[in-house]
Homo-oligomer: A and B are copies of this chain.
């Protein structure tokens, strides 16, 4: 079921309290437009994230990502589009803990659990744990997913241009375009 606008407003306020705690300042205009992405599943506290996009030009993109405790940004990758290399991104943890999973040697006993009922859409298990000051760079076409730790997390993303509509998710029920009801 799509999220209501009232629910969205509530999650925006919540994301703002995380940013406040981390000392990250937004303009009032930015605070009013924090993006609440439930990826079309209608299970935001389980699958989704909040975002503040600072800049997204032809060449450069920078965002803050806000994850609730245990909230998952599901497995996806950034393909080449029209001969241009896919999105390259660096995640830098600013606050809390984030569990990041990428292609490669599976980590035994990983910290994160995929969202209930969607386990089949998670198949990369090389674990990277990011705490404040830690960062990791993902080259294009790397499958990845990530989950907020017990307190949630704030992650700065530094990347090339972001074109959400080209992201490829394993879970075919996911849609990147937001939908809200009154």
Contacts and interface: CB of A to CB of B under 8 A. Distances in A.
Contacts of A26: 133
Interface string A67-92: 00000000000000000010011101
B23 A54 contact: no
A30 interface: yes
A158 B59 contact: no
A6 interface: no
In which size bucket is the chain A interface? 20 to 34
A160 to B, nearest CB: 5
A59 B140 CA distance: 11
Interface string A16-49: 0000001111110010000000000000000000
B135 A55 contact: yes
Copies of this chain present: 2
A13 interface: no
A90 B60 contact: yes
B60 A159 contact: yes
Interface string A126-139: 00000011110100
Contacts of A134: 27
Nearest to A160: B59
Interface of A: 22-27, 30, 54-55, 57, 59-62, 85, 88-90, 92, 94, 132-135, 137, 156, 158-160
Given A60-B60, A60-B88, 20 more contacts: A22-B23, A23-B23, A24-B94, A25-B94, A25-B133, A26-B133, A54-B90, A54-B92, A55-B137, A55-B158, A57-B137, A59-B88, A59-B160, A60-B89, A60-B90, A60-B158, A61-B158, A62-B62, A62-B90, A62-B158
